[in-house]
């Protein structure tokens, strides 16, 4: 064989070895069902080459009390996302996003099913993934051999109550239990995000908890061995550090899906003379690079209010103003700011909206109403996000006391860089003694 051919042969053999190495490593990386302590080594090919100490990731699933609304659920997501972020400092864990569904406030009946809704319908997944490793539930089902959750823990309070708040968690008899055991199959069944009997748990226990989310880390690391662990009633766990830089990273990563932002932006342009250039609200493509100072954002030339009605009128009666009194407060703020247009985000039925509008005759009032097509495609959740997006870009904002829907608009405005004076305003109830500014949770980087 000539020297040239020998050199060619040697290059070819090297190429095959590299291909083999890359391929073995890729297969290993994809094989997330492998044993936890697998080590990827290639001693037989090249002595001393240790590619990685690969641990197969575990999965953390969670769910929330069925009665809770969309924005409270977003808050619980942040607690769990921070927990998974912390878990990943030691071992690889993947957060499995609970599909949206069965929400009490999603009442539209003519837009098809509002269950098993993936997060990508509402949020930008690459942005979420930049904070914590995660996947949709459907993806989780694909990577599992069987649709099984190895260990399910139903969080609950301590039945005996407590005198002193201290962090603790204990396996306890269930106070209530929405899951049922089938002795024939030896499996636990339940609602499971609308997947019902298509998914099951091998083991189910109740866990009394009085703790911040991070406190459960040790329990997960030491007391569980399954690959997929689910925490139901995750709202029982509190924020580790509400309002710190990690909290805000999790919050900043919750960017709304572009298709919803685009619809909101179009409404701003068409009806409210508002665009990012003039309003100084342009988003950096990557949230991790976006850092705004208070007062950087100007906002569109309109005032936005979030007026929560429906169940609030009954359960938060003492903090929910009458329509007439709400209109009076809007008028006062319009006079103060000199703005002429009002954007109203509300869950009020049409007749209440008419009453409110009658009391605001001197101003141009706007409410976002989706086309049938948009409503069907993006559901009640998508419409709520579009409302929040438009309200977040207003020059002045007034929210409803104690509504997490209003809280999320305020955080969005923090991210965009609004002056807190334009953000932390809320409706008062006539004669209410303690109606002050809402608590300020200013952004921290």
**Catalytic sites, residue numbers:** 68
Pick 55 or 375: Cβ nearer ligand GFB: 375
Least distance from ligand GFB to the Cβ atom of residue 129, Å: 24
CB nearer to ligand GFB: pick between 274 and 388: 388
Which structure tokens are listed for 188? 């636990």
Q: Residue 135 corresponds to which tokens in the numbers above?
A: 């996947």
Q: Which is nearer to ligand GFB, 69 or 417 (CB)?
A: 69
Identify which of residues 151 and 414 has a Cβ nearer to ligand GFB in the complex: 414
Nearest to 441 by CA among 129, 97, 84, 78: 78
Closest residue to ligand GFB using C-beta atoms: 69
* Shortest separation between residue 301's beta carbon and ligand GFB, angstroms: 21
Considering the complex, state which of residue 67 and residue 178 has its C-beta at the smaller distance from ligand GFB.
67
Query: How many Å apart are CA 342 and CA 391, to the nearest integer?
Result: 10
- 338 φ, ψ to 5°? 75, 10
Residue with smaller CB distance to ligand GFB, 255 or 306 = 306
Q: Which residue has the tokens 């269930």?
A: 174
Instruction: Output the smallest distance, CB 386 to ligand GFB, in A.
Output: 8
Count of Cβ atoms closer than 10 Å to residue 155 Cβ: 21
Exposure b/e, 261-285, CB count within 10 A at least 16 = b:
bebbbebbeebbebebeebebeeee
Cβ at position 207, least distance to ligand GFB in Å: 23
How many other CB atoms sit within 10 Å of the CB of residue 140?
20
Contact 402, 380 (CB under 8 A): no
Q: Beta strand pairing status for 204-210 and 151-156? A: parallel
User: Measured in whole angstroms, how far is the alpha carbon of residue 37 from the centre of its chain?
Assistant: 32
Report the residue number, 208 or 400, with the smaller CB distance to ligand GFB. 400
Q: What are phi and psi of 402, to 5 degrees?
A: 65, 5
Name the DSSP letter for residue 51: E
Shortest spacing between CB 104 and ligand GFB, in angstroms? 6
Q: Give min distance, CB of 326 to ligand GFB, in A.
A: 13
| Structure token digits, residue 357 | 């509008």
CA atoms of 388 and 438, how far apart (whole Å): 18
Q: Which residues have CB under 8 Å from 403's CB, separation 6+?
A: 71, 306, 308, 312
CB 150 within 8 A of CB 165: no
Which residues of the chain form contacts with ligand GFB (CB under 6 A)? 67-72, 105-106, 306, 308, 311-312, 315, 345-347, 380, 383-384, 387, 403-405
50 close to 39: Cβ distance less than 8 angstroms: yes
In angstroms, what is the minimal distance from the CB of 378 to ligand GFB? 11
Nearest Cα to 237, choosing from 128, 156, 132, 150?
156
């Amino acid at each position: 064989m000539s020297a040239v051919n020998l050199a060619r042969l040697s290059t070819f053999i090297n190429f095959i070895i590299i291909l083999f190495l890359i391929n073995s490593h890729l297969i290993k990386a994809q094989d997330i069902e492998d044993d936890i302590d697998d080590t990827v080594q290639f001693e037989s090919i090249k002595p001393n080459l240790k590619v990685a100490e690969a641990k197969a990731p575990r999965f953390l699933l969670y769910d929330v009390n069925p009665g809770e609304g969309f924005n409270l659920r977003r808050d619980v997501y942040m607690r769990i996302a921070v927990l998974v972020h912390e878990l990943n400092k030691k071992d690889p864990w993947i957060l499995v996003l609970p599909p949206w569904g069965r929400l009490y406030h999603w009442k539209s009946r003519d837009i098809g099913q509002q269950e098993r809704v993936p997060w990508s319908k509402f949020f930008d997944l690459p942005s979420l993934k930049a904070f914590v490793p995660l996947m949709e539930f459907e993806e989780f089902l694909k990577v599992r051999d069987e649709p099984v959750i190895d260990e399910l823990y139903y969080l609950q309070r301590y039945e005996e109550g407590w005198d002193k708040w201290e962090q603790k968690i204990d396996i306890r008899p269930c106070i209530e239990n929405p899951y049922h055991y089938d002795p024939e199959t030896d499996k636990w069944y339940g609602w499971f995000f609308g997947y019902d009997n298509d998914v099951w748990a091998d083991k189910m226990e109740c866990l009394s908890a009085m703790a911040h989310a991070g406190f459960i880390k040790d329990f997960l690391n030491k007391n569980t061995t399954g690959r997929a662990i689910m925490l139901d009633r995750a709202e029982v766990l509190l924020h580790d550090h509400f309002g710190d830089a990690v909290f805000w990273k999790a919050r900043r990563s919750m960017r709304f899906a572009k298709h919803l932002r685009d619809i909101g932006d179009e409404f701003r342009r068409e009806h409210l003379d508002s665009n990012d250039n003039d309003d100084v609200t342009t988003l950096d493509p990557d949230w991790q690079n976006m850092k705004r100072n208070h007062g950087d954002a100007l906002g569109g030339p309109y005032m936005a209010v979030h007026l929560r009605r429906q169940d609030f009128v009954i359960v938060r009666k003492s903090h929910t103003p009458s329509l007439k009194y709400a209109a009076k407060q809007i008028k006062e703020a319009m006079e103060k700011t000199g703005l002429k247009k009002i954007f109203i985000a509300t869950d009020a039925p049409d007749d209440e909206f008419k009453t409110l509008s009658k009391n605001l005759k001197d101003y141009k009032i706007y409410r976002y109403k989706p086309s049938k097509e948009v409503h069907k495609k993006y559901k009640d959740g998508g419409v709520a996000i579009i409302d929040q997006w438009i309200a977040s870009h207003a020059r002045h904002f007034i929210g409803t006391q104690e509504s997490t829907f209003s809280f999320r608009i305020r955080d969005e405005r923090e991210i965009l860089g609004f002056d807190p004076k334009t953000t932390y305003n809320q409706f008062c109830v006539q004669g209410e003694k303690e109606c002050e500014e809402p608590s300020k949770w200013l952004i921290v980087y």
